Amino acid sequence: MTRPPYFRDIWILGPNGTGYPGGFPNGLVPAIKRKWWGSRRLWICSGSHRDESGVCLDIKREVGPTVVGNAEQLPFRDGSFDFVLMDPPYSEGEARALYDLPYLRLRRSISEAWRVTESGGHFLFFHRTIPTNGAELELTGLCGIIGVAVLASWANMRALTVWRKPHRLERWS
Ligand SMILES: C[S@@+](CC[C@H](N)C(=O)[O-])C[C@H]1O[C@@H](n2cnc3c(N)ncnc32)[C@H](O)[C@@H]1O
């Protein structure tokens, strides 16, 4: 069998310690850091996550992000970050029940995240779905798909999908 040209793995991690609904599993960020990282980092839909030298953006002021903003219209210039991770609510129902918010427009938010990712930088998307070319998105440069689970009575499986945004010349070749 031919191996796909991207990293594949399953990470079984510890429960989130903050108690914030949908919070990152314990150990996720260090595991990501070992594979993909940047010096200008943006966390979209950051919730309880903190990054002293990065930018955390969430629509909820009360969670204390660096920037209060909407993922559908990011207040940053094109290519501002070399590492962008987005962890939105996972469904309309969860957006309402867990955060009392309407479900964001996923395509629009992903396009915004991609816009602010610089060429050569990484965009990581954490969700229950894996957007691919058929999702009418411009995403190219897929470099990783990781199943992420926390073992609980009902294990909540999520996927971390990673793209490296190609440089212009790479896009032509
Ligand atoms: C799955 S949680 C993120 C949890 C985070 N990774 C953590 O470790 O705490 C989803 C977050 O998306 C935020 N959110 C929902 N709609 C948003 C929008 N349109 N723009 C920005 N943030 C939004 C919610 O306020 C919530 O904090």
Mind listing the pLDDT tens digit for each residue in 131-157?
A: 876 677 888 999 999 999 998 767 779
Instruction: Give the pLDDT of residue 152.
Output: 78
Residue 1 lies in a domain: no
Instruction: Give the pLDDT of residue 80.
Output: 98
Rounded CA separation 39/26 (Å): 22
Residue 16 lies in a domain: yes
The residues of the chain scoring below 70 in pLDDT are 1-3, 133-134, 153, 169-173
Nearest to 163 by CA among 2, 31, 7: 7
Instruction: Give the pLDDT of residue 118.
Output: 97
Residue 91 lies in a domain: yes
Mean pLDDT of the chain: 93
Kindly state if the Cβ of 36 falls inside 6 Å of ligand 1: no
Q: State whether residue 63 is helix, strand or coil.
A: helix
Q: How do residues 36-48 score in pLDDT, each as one tens digit?
A: 999 999 999 999 9
Rounded CA separation 92/102 (Å): 7
Residue 173 lies in a domain: no
Instruction: Give the pLDDT of residue 173.
Output: 58
Instruction: Give the pLDDT of residue 155.
Output: 74
What CATH number is associated with residue 115?
3.40.50.150
Residue 2 lies in a domain: no
Instruction: Give the pLDDT of residue 2.
Output: 63
Residue 113 lies in a domain: yes
Alpha helices in the chain (DSSP H): 28-35, 92-99, 106-116, 168-172
Q: Is the dihedral of CA 91, 97, 98, 99 positive or negative?
A: positive
Kindly state if the Cβ of 43 falls inside 6 Å of ligand 1: no
Kindly state if the Cβ of 58 falls inside 6 Å of ligand 1: yes
Domain of 18 in residue numbering reads as 7-164
Total number of domains in the chain: 1
Nearest-atom index, ligand 1, CA of 16? 8
Residue 169 lies in a domain: no
Residue 98 lies in a domain: yes
Kindly state if the Cβ of 88 falls inside 6 Å of ligand 1: yes
Instruction: Give the pLDDT of residue 154.
Output: 76
Instruction: Give the pLDDT of residue 171.
Output: 60
Rounded CA separation 21/166 (Å): 34
